[in-house]
Amino acid sequence: MAYDPSFLRKRLGIDFPLIGLYDAPDAGAFEPVVSPPPDRHTCVFAFFEDWREGRTLCLTRKNFGCGGAGAALWSVSTRSRGEYVNFLAGTEGLKCSPDVMGAWLDRRRTYSPVHPHILIGPMRPGMESHLLTVTFFVNPDQLASLVIGAHYRHDLSGPDPVRAPFGSGCMQLLTCFDDIARPQAVIGATDIAMRPFLDECALAFTVTVPMFEQLCALDEGSFLARPFLKRLQKARRESRNR
């Protein structure tokens, strides 16, 4: 089913294309397509400007760009467990000890695609059946509004609909979710290794398809047309004009 995010994007002033992550059989349906240079370490987010220009990143089991993406999106390991622990905890200092890093590594989720291609790029009409998640690249004010939107229909009977988990930027696009069949959201782009490829104030808000449906259903009766948001946007306009 196709959902229309135009009202949401207009009210929040989101100009960057919404980025879909697809598990699809035919990369040709996503043209124009770009791929990582073969046999070279390339971060998924090195293609941020390609997404801005309307191009889609195509990853395969043999060409996934970097080891992190290979592990997260293809369940392909390019290092031993010990090598991962030593690099992430020892070299980069991302956890307080190798044991803590190892425990996190053992519990992380990875994805095994159904089809030969993982496509990451601007959303494509007609490809909804292959869509796994949708990512908004936004500034802090827009992020705040999307967090409210994700809570808008939450009735407290289930887990919090928004999380900010530890993980690589590509993990936060998919494998940090408990269940992509439920309305959930992840605050991402918190991986400092991938942030050099982004605009300085850009953060990511990645949602499952059920959550995307809820966000697209926000209308004039919601906070998107109410005083809090209008005052915030007015304050930003006045600040820029000073």
Q: Verify cis geometry, omega within 30 degrees of 0, for the bond prior to 122.
A: no
User: Which residues have a Cβ under 8 Å from the Cβ of 128 and sit 6 or more positions away?
Assistant: 1, 2, 209
**Same domain (yes/no): 136, 228:** yes
For 73-97, what is the mean pLDDT? 96
DSSP letter for each residue of 61-107: SS--SSHHHHHHHH---SS-HHHHHIIIIIIS--SSSHHHHHHHHHH
- Domains: count for the chain: 2
**Same domain (yes/no): 103, 158:** no
Secondary structure class of 123 (helix, strand, coil): coil
**Same domain (yes/no): 187, 104:** no
Question: What's the confidence (pLDDT) of residue 233?
Answer: 97
In 3D space, the residue among 202, 76, 211 whose CA is nearest the CA of residue 132 turns out to be 211
Question: What's the confidence (pLDDT) of residue 158?
Answer: 86
For 63-82, what is the mean pLDDT? 95
What element of type H or E holds 216?
Answer: helix 209-216
Which residue in this structure is represented by tokens 């997404």? Answer: 51
pTM over 0.85: yes
- Please give the structure tokens belonging to residue 123: 């959303």
Look up the domain containing 17 and give its range: 6-30+123-241
Q: Is residue 94 a part of any domain in this protein?
A: yes
Q: Is the pLDDT of residue 2 over 80?
A: no
Question: What's the confidence (pLDDT) of residue 157?
Answer: 87
Question: What's the confidence (pLDDT) of residue 195?
Answer: 98
| Confidence grade of residue 39 (pLDDT, cut at 50, 70, 90) | confident
Q: Is residue 105 a part of any domain in this protein?
A: yes
- Please give the structure tokens belonging to residue 95: 């956890």
Q: Is the pLDDT of residue 1 over 70?
A: no
**Same domain (yes/no): 187, 227:** yes
Q: Is residue 210 a part of any domain in this protein?
A: yes
Q: Is residue 138 a part of any domain in this protein?
A: yes
Q: Is the pLDDT of residue 52 over 60?
A: yes
**Same domain (yes/no): 20, 86:** no
Q: CB of 95 within 8 A of CB of 88? A: yes
Q: Is residue 38 a part of any domain in this protein?
A: no
